[in-house]
Amino acid sequence: MDLISSRLGPKHTSEEVIFPSRCCPYCQQAFQPSKHRPDQAVCSRRECQARRHVEYRRRKRLADPEYAQVIRGSRRKWREAHPDYQRKYWQTHPDAADRNRQQQRQRDQKRHVGRLVKNTLVLDLKHFAAEVWLVGPLAGDLVKNTLVSSKLLILQAPSPVLCPSPTS
């Protein structure tokens, strides 16, 4: 008798069991868990399984210092064996190079906002007469900021997508 049958009692078999649908945390689609993996949390789509695997490795790397050291050593050895790879990649992929430059500018701007946290040079934005509103995750860091920058960034977190209800 398998685990599912033992939980259901002697009248039911595992083939008769239909698990309730679940919502995939990655694609937000409803899916039916496998009868072999009743605790399945991610749908079977290749992209979702790849994301699940990547997240597992990231968590493992953060939780297990020895595993993280093995990965660092492996990456270092590969870079030593392929010293010109990065330079050649940027030369042969100009779109990726442009995208990387743009993302680096955004990271630099975010870092710059972080440095403004205790800046008290000009005026307090919280009491500005023109009602300047700071929105987004970085706004909380600007509690003591009194510097007005010439560029206003409005950041908004994406709203969560709810899983559609399964149609009968």
SS (H, E, C) the chain: CCHHHHHHCCCCCHHHCCCCCEECCCCCCEECCCCCCCCCCCCCCHHHHHHHHHHHHHHHHHHCHHHHHHHHHHHHHHHHHCCCHHHHHHHHCHHHHHHHHHHHHHHHHHHHHHHCCCCCCCCCHHHCCCCCCCCCCCHHHHCCCCCCCCCCCCCCCCCCCCCCCCCC
168 in a structural domain: no
Q: Is residue 10 part of a domain?
A: yes
Domain assignment present for 55: no
Which residue range forms the structural domain that includes residue 5? Answer: 1-44
Domain tally, the chain:
1
Query: Is 29 part of any domain?
Result: yes
Q: Is residue 141, in this structure, part of any structural domain at all?
A: no
Residue 7 lies in a domain: yes
Single pTM value for the model:
0.47
Q: What is the pLDDT along the chain (168 residues), one digit of tens a residue?
A: 455 555 555 555 555 567 889 999 999 999 999 989 989 999 999 999 999 999 999 999 999 999 999 999 999 999 999 999 999 999 999 999 999 999 999 999 888 877 766 565 544 545 544 555 565 666 666 655 555 454 555 566 666 666 766 655
Residue 107 lies in a domain: no
